[in-house]
Chains A and B, each alone.
Chain A
């Protein structure tokens, strides 16, 4: 067994104890990336020399100091919308080609301090706008389970890198499901923490009232390990919550009597019957282990997609106004300043990004603000209240993650609205700000299926504990076989 099959927890323990060197671990990870990433396309940039230098630093530390590192020698991949000082950051957009951030994101700085080895930057839909990682300006990423299918998105590169065992851990970002949907499609664990639990200093902003950074891993324990390193307040991000982010992280939870809410709006005929069947099987197992399944209602769910896209596009149009060809990234020619702005943005942004900027600009423009953005913010209140009411009756909510199994590359490119509608089960957690986590619970026709868990705000620790019980009860192996030649 090589270290690429190990969990992050096992690698860190072995490096701390001096059983193996960080150098051996990083060499194995880089070799696996070299071998398989030509097929998968998970990475936009592989940082061999930086990762090896970081490994040498860990190996050369006095043993007593190395023993304090929670991620000693653990290879980690970082989604390419999180800035890194010594590597390029593009957000998978032409407009940021060649950009090198002058600082590390807070999450990246915390990874380095924890002894992690950052092996590279992973692919995404441009500016995290998409659900398939086909909307990268550079290349699509393929699902390691079936290379003809998408890995989901927008954190598709991170999910694919973890699933293909190139790295045990990766960072993603989740605005409407961008960690959880690819986690489900690639058969890994993905967590969107409570809004504000993880600093966003250095995350390239998409929709600021929704964005959150979170972990992708092959086990819940590994997701917790990464979450513990990155969570917590940050003087550089005034939206990062104060208080102890580690509180409740070691909470013990029992399935016995645990009230699991099943929202009836998430269990309709619109979901692929193969997904419904895998999810039902997992819920049966939990029930026979003592959990109580309780039907609840989140009645404003049918309005969630409209609400989400209006808010996300409006905020995106504002956040992306900074890409003007003046301060960073590419500049196209132009007769004058205005022409330079317009040409740079027309040539630098892809079709999906332009579509969202246009819709968002319209939604915020004079005469339309009340009808669109303000209206959506009000419906957002109703969606939040649905969750508040449901959590009076249940401890946690479980749902399918996606209505469909991973689709084939190119299959949905022509119909953006269809792509938006497939986010129905994930956008509500972002709108309500609550923590949410996906655990793989089975396979249908050779493709993975993930169960989504949602908990009340700030119950991140409890959510992880429940997800870990689910993982044990439904008994999914962390190294279950991948499709194709990657087994």
Chain B
């Protein structure tokens, strides 16, 4: 059952999507989303009770390869795009109160 989204619904979805949204943006976004949702509600007209979903469009079996030890990226290469990196770790803002949490 497809229903239109309220401002609060959009705020909730934005939180789920980890997107900060200003109150000034809400009305336009809400209106656009509802327009798209109204359009896609056309699918309700189709009876799909007996139809299997397409999860893989081309039949595939899991390809197997030999389990061989291979070279992998050195840590400094793998970390080099992190905005804040030290001691082979990604640093993030503090999550809990207390001492430490700063790179040395």
- Please tell me if the beta carbons of B43 and A307 are within 8 angstroms of each other in the complex: yes
B60 cross-chain contacts in A, Cβ below 8 A: 196, 239, 241
Contacts of A420 in B (CB 8 A): 36
A384 close to chain B: CB less than 8 A: yes
Q: Which residues of A contact B58 (CB under 8 A)?
A: 194-196, 241, 433, 457-458
Q: Which of A342-383 contact B (CB under 8 A)?
A: 342-343, 345-346, 349, 354-355, 357-359, 361-362, 365, 371-372, 374-382
In the complex the two chains form, is A346's CB within 8 Å of B19's CB? yes
Complex contact A380–B73 (CB within 8 A): no
Q: Cβ of B18 and Cβ of A336 under 8 Å apart?
A: no
Residues of A within 8 A of B55 (CB): 209, 377
Q: Across the interface, do A345 and B90 meet the contact criterion of CB distance under 8 Å?
A: no
**Known contacts A242-B63, A355-B29, A362 near B5 by CB under 8 Å:** yes
- Chain B residues whose C-beta falls within 8 Å of the C-beta of A327 in the assembled complex: 81-82, 90
CB-CB nearest in chain B for A381: B54
Closest residue of B by beta carbon distance from A374: B53
B63: chain A residues within 8 A (beta carbon): 233, 235, 238, 242
B40 to chain A: closest residue by CB: A306
A65 within 8 A of B: no
Which residue of the partner chain B has the closest CB to A313? B36
The reply to whether A324 and B18 form a contact with Cβ atoms under 8 Å apart is: yes
Report the count of interface residues on B (CB-CB < 8 A).
Answer: 51
Asked if residues A380 and B46 are in contact (CB atoms below 8 Å), the reply is no
Tell me the chain A residues, 306-348 only, with Cβ under 8 Å from chain B: 306-307, 309-310, 317, 321, 324-331, 334-343, 345-346
* Residues on the A chain within 8 Å of B48, using CB: 375, 378-379, 382
**Interface of chain A, main secondary structure:** helix
- In the assembled complex, A416 has its CB within 8 A of some CB on chain B: yes
Q: Is the Cβ of B57 less than 8 Å from the Cβ of A340?
A: no
Given contacts A306-B40, A381-B53, contact A334 B17 (CB under 8 A): no
Within 8 A of A (CB), among B38-68: 39-40, 42-44, 46, 48, 51-58, 60, 62-63, 65
- Name A432's contact: one of B5, B37, B57 (CB within 8 Å): B57
Q: Return the CB mask of B3-40 against A: 1 if under 8 Å, else 0.
A: 00100011001101111110000000100110111011
Find out whether the CB atom of A195 lies under 8 angstroms from the CB atom of B57: yes
Contact between B20 and A372, CB atoms less than 8 A apart? no
Smallest CB-CB separation from B76: which chain A residue?
Answer: A102
A61 at interface by CB-CB < 8 Å: no
Task: Considering the complex, give the chain A residue whose CB is closest to the CB of B5.
Answer: A362
Interface SS of B by simple majority: loop
Chain B residue numbers with a CB within 8 Å of A233 are 63
Q: Quick check: is A99 within 8 A (CB to CB) of the other chain?
A: yes
Q: Provide the residues of chain B in CB contact with A330, threshold 8 Å.
A: 83
Interface centre among B37, B57, B62 (most CB of A within 10 A): B57
Assembled-state Cα–Cα distance A417/B40 (Å):
10
B40 touches A310 (CB 8 A): yes
Asked if A371 and B92 sit within 8 Å, CB to CB, the answer is no
Contacts of B100 in A (CB 8 A): none
Q: What are the residues of chain B within 8 A of A433 when measuring CB–CB?
A: 57-58
Q: Does A67 contact B (CB under 8 A)?
A: no
A362 B1 Cβ-Cβ under 8 A: no
- B binding-site residues for A, Cβ under 8 Å: 1-2, 5, 9-10, 13-14, 16-21, 29, 32-33, 35-37, 39-40, 42-44, 46, 48, 51-58, 60, 62-63, 65, 73, 77-78, 80-84, 90, 92-95
Show the binding face of A for B, using Cβ within 8 Å.
98-100, 102-103, 194-196, 209, 233, 235, 238-239, 241-242, 300, 302-303, 305-307, 309-310, 317, 321, 324-331, 334-343, 345-346, 349, 354-355, 357-359, 361-362, 365, 371-372, 374-382, 384, 416-417, 420, 431-433, 457-458
Task: Jot down 15 A-B pairs with beta carbons below 8 A, ordered by A.
Answer: A196-B60, A238-B63, A241-B60, A307-B43, A341-B18, A346-B20, A355-B29, A357-B17, A361-B13, A361-B16, A371-B1, A376-B43, A377-B55, A378-B48, A382-B51
